[in-house]
Copies of this chain bind each other. A is one copy, B any other.
Amino acid sequence: MPEIKLAIDAMGGDNGPSIVIDALCQLINEGTPHHFLVVGQHDSVTPLLSQYNLDEHPQVTFVHAEQVVEMDEKPGQALRAKPHSSMSIALELLAKGEADGVVSGGNTGALMAKAYFQLKTLPGVLRPALMAALPNQLGGRSYLLDLGANASCDSETLFQFGVMGSVAAQILEDISSPNVSLLNMGEEEIKGNDVVKNAALRLASSEHVNYTGFVEGNHLFSGKADVIVCDGFVGNIALKSCEGLATLIVDQLKSALMSHWMYRLFFRFLQKRTQKSWDRLKPDHYNGASLIGLRGVVIKSHGSANAKAFGSAIRQAITEAQAQLPERIKDRVESVLLEQH
């Protein structure tokens, strides 16, 4: 596998640059052969690089950025007023070919807007999409897209998301012909709105996608589909609703388990013995949403990620860059466009 050079936006995320540098340090200590361009404000980042003994490390290069996109800044404003932000400079390194991918834990809206503006979509691709991996009951992962890059989509855009998601699942999960489904309010053909019905016809008619019909929300985690397609409005709400429920369940479980010393003791014991099966569900392992359809690898880390989770996002970027996911998507979209003529 080729060595990769990643541009890392060190200023993004709720927890500041320390978790980013910590994540890099862990990866380097584990023996990663890749190179990292750490983009951020000199005064915030260089002391941390010294602290972690990365200031003169051959795999780490610091790149200064004057500006920072705030987490609550409006994307349009960030796009216009922050051309020298760490996010913009990281994307610029990718656009100029000086990096093979970008990882940022910053403002999602700003990252999507800047990435779209600075990198552009691949030839023939209508819109980029935000895609994430979800754990499923079969022990594997299913990919859900779009998670919020597009508030509404026409059926051709949803069709393309199916094509792009299929290429991604092939590469990332090593599945030869991933099952691609559309998220709908029922499984019967007559269910849903016109956009999903037309997208279904379009997906069923293509030889380049293994379309397996509609799935309902309860199948996000069942493993019935390897790729699940919806517009960004629906995907964002579905995923965040699940986050909300998980928080509620964990809160109830914790308060029940912490109410007595014996439960606490047992909980620790149980935790150790069942670590593996729980680890599969932990958000840390699923951190790193891919912004696909662009001319370059861009990974969005969750704003509240810790160092371990940020490390997962970096690994995701390495995998996609090594597999040349954008080029593979470009090839597939070209074949699909040829099929139509």
Contacts and interface: CB of A to CB of B under 8 A. Distances in A.
Given A191-B151, A277-B255, A183 B237 contact: yes
Contacts of A216: 236-237, 240
B192 A218 contact: no
A255 B277 CA distance: 9
A291 interface: no
Interface string A234-272: 101111111111111101100111011001001000100
Contacts of A281: 248-249, 252
A316 to B, nearest CB: 22
Number of this chain's copies in the assembly equals: 2
A273 interface: yes
B248 A245 contact: no
Nearest to A249: B249
**Interface size band for A:** 35 or more
Interface stretch (A34-42, A60-68, A219-227, A325-333): A219-227
A256 B233 contact: no
Most central of A188, A241, A256 by chain B CB within 10 Å: A241
A155 to B, nearest CB: 14
A243 B266 contact: no
B256 A277 contact: yes
A291 to B, nearest CB: 16
Given A234-B233, A236-B217, A137 B243 contact: no
Given A217-B238, A236-B185, A237-B217, A222 B244 contact: yes
Given A137-B248, A246-B249, A238 B241 contact: yes
Given A151-B185, A256-B274, A263-B270, A217 B192 contact: no
Across the A-B interface, give the 4 residue pairs with the lowest CB-CB distance, nearest first: A217-B240, A217-B241, A218-B244, A185-B236
Interface of A: 74, 109, 135-137, 148, 151-152, 183-186, 188, 190-193, 216-222, 230, 232-234, 236-249, 251-252, 255-257, 259-260, 263, 266, 270, 273-274, 277-278, 280-281
